[in-house]
């Protein structure tokens, strides 16, 4: 079976993890600041705080910009559910707006129309690693928290890496991501004040100069341990090669799928550069996607509908009364999207096998 995702793990990762085990300093040790500093440098951010997941990074990012009960946060319905859930953690309301049919990112005009007097922040998502149109969102003067969980390696028009524009931006290190620590995440940010608050809140609300018996604010246990940080550091060393492997695979897919009736991921335009994360195609309207997944599996190929529209998930329907038809572009894309096997070490022969399997599944 050709799997959907497969992390690159080798001798450097094994050595890095063993070193931590042998040091006996498994948490709050030297790898934590080392990983944060190396990661911040990589994305051109002033500060970074390593946390337990992309979700917890987003949560602390929203708290940093002051999102609180009763606020509205405008975001994309075409994302992983975590980017909306974190808004609810603070008893604020996710307000969705439709997406751009080409980039699949939050449509700036639709987002602008969704802003009200209660909007306290915008949460654009760099979906599938394609840079969201940040200048358009920045024009509103509202705080921005970026969901960059899928976008490590992406670059905005003008050359700034995604994560380097000064807003709190969340990255995720789950095993399918461009860089993995097993589970893990990173919040990068431009503000030193935010960094102090985030570091405290991830560690139960304790300030760095405080005795462990006292805590001066509400906090969480969102820490990332030193084993994960060591893994992350080893992965950072080979990040360029892993990103290049994904980009190469994307090129093979483009060629192999060229003659088929599929919508492929948009090409880089206007100076934006995608940080390749997944290879998601949109099937023609009317094709039975579930049957396609089964047919692919029978031919030895894993695939997955990716992503479902958040507003149509049962929890969001029940809680907010969302119904089909509200965000037609998102719903159309969500109904037809299919993720194909995609990882740095996939071979050209495997890509050809996936393409053949898809062609015969669609017949």
Ligand X SMILES: Cc1ncc(COP(=O)(O)O)c(C=O)c1O
- Interface residue list for ligand X (CB under 6 A): 53-55, 79-80, 82-83, 125, 147, 149-150, 172, 174, 185
Closest to ligand X by CB, 19 or 306: 306
Which CB sits closer to ligand X, 174 or 252?
A: 174
Residue 134 CB, shortest distance to ligand X, in Å, is 16
CB 198 within 8 A of CB 214: no
DSSP string, 264-318: PPPPP-TT-B-----EEEEPPTT--HHHHHHHHHHTTB--EE----GGGSHHHHH
- Alpha-carbon distances, residue 168 vs 28, 113, 131, 135 (angstroms): 22, 23, 15, 15
Which C-beta is closer to ligand X: that of 116 or that of 221? 221
Enter the tokens of residue 257.
Answer: 């799928």
State in Å, rounded, how far the first CA of the chain is from the last one. Answer: 21
Q: How far is the CB of 3 from ligand X (least distance, A)?
A: 17
The string of DSSP codes covering 63-132 is HHTT--TT-EEEE-SSS-THHHHHHHHTT-EEEE--B-TTT-SB-HHHHHHH--TTEEEEE-B-GGGPPP
The arrangement of strands across the sheet holding 72-75 comes to 93-96, 72-75, 119-123
Closest contact distance (angstroms) between CB of 246 and ligand X is 15
Look up residue 203 and give its DSSP letter.
B
User: Whose Cβ is closer to ligand X: residue 252's or residue 277's?
Assistant: 277
Q: Which residue is nearest to ligand X (CB)?
A: 54
How far apart are CB 254 and ligand X at their closest, in Å? 23
CB atoms under 10 Å from CB of 155, counted, come to 20
Nearest to 359 by CA among 307, 281, 248, 306: 281
Nearer to ligand X, 83 or 200 (CB): 83
User: Minimal distance in Å, beta carbon 358 to ligand X?
Assistant: 23
Q: With residue 193 as reference, give the H or E element that holds it.
A: helix 192-201
Instruction: Work out the angle between the directed axes of helices 11-23 and 226-237 (0-180°, nearest 10).
Output: 150
Measured from the CB atom, is 32 or 169 closer to ligand X? 169
Beta carbon of residue 57, minimum distance to ligand X (angstroms, whole number): 8
Q: Cα angle at 235 between 229 and 241, to 5 degrees? A: 165
| Helices and strands in the chain, H and E counts | 13, 10
Of 95 and 132, the one with the shorter C-beta distance to ligand X is 132
Q: Which residues are catalytic?
A: 177
Q: How far is the CB of 91 from ligand X (least distance, A)?
A: 20
Q: Specify which residues 182 forms β-bridges with.
A: 174
């Amino acid at each position: 079976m050709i799997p959907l995702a497969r992390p690159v793990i080798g001798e450097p990762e094994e050595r890095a993890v063993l070193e931590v085990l042998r040091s006996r300093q498994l948490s709050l040790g030297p790898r934590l600041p080392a990983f944060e500093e190396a990661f911040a440098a990589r994305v051109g951010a002033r500060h970074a705080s390593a946390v337990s997941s992309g979700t917890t990074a987003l949560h602390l990012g929203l708290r940093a910009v002051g999102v609180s009960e009763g606020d509205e946060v405008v975001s994309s319905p075409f994302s992983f559910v975590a980017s909306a859930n974190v808004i609810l953690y603070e008893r604020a309301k996710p307000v969705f707006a439709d997406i751009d049919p080409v980039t699949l990112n939050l449509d700036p005009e639709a987002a602008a129309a969704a802003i009200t007097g209660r909007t306290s922040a915008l949460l654009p998502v760099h979906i599938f690693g394609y840079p969201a149109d940040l200048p358009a969102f920045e024009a509103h003067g509202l705080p921005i928290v970026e969901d960059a969980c899928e976008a490590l390696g992406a670059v905005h028009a003008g050359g700034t890496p995604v994560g380097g524009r000064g807003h709190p931006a969340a990255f995720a290190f789950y095993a399918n991501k461009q860089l993995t620590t097993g589970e893990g995440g990173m919040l990068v940010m431009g503000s030193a004040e935010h960094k102090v608050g985030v570091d405290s809140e991830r560690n139960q609300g304790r300030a760095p100069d405080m005795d462990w018996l006292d805590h001066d604010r509400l906090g969480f246990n969102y820490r990332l341990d030193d084993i994960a940080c060591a893994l992350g550091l080893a992965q950072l060393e080979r990040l360029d090669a892993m990103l290049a492997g994904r980009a190469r695979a994307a090129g093979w897919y483009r060629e192999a799928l060229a003659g088929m009736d599929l919508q492929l991921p948009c090409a880089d335009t206007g100076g934006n550069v995608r940080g390749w994360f997944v290879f998601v195609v949109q099937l023609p309207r009317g094709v039975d996607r579930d049957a396609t997944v089964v047919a692919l599996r029978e031919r030895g190929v894993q695939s997955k509908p990716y992503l479902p529209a958040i507003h149509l998930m049962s929890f969001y329907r029940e809680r907010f009364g969302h119904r089909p038809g509200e965000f037609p572009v998102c719903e159309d894309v969500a109904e037809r999207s299919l993720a194909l096997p995609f990882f740095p070490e996939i071979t050209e022969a495997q890509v050809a096998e996936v393409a053949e399997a898809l062609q015969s599944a669609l017949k």
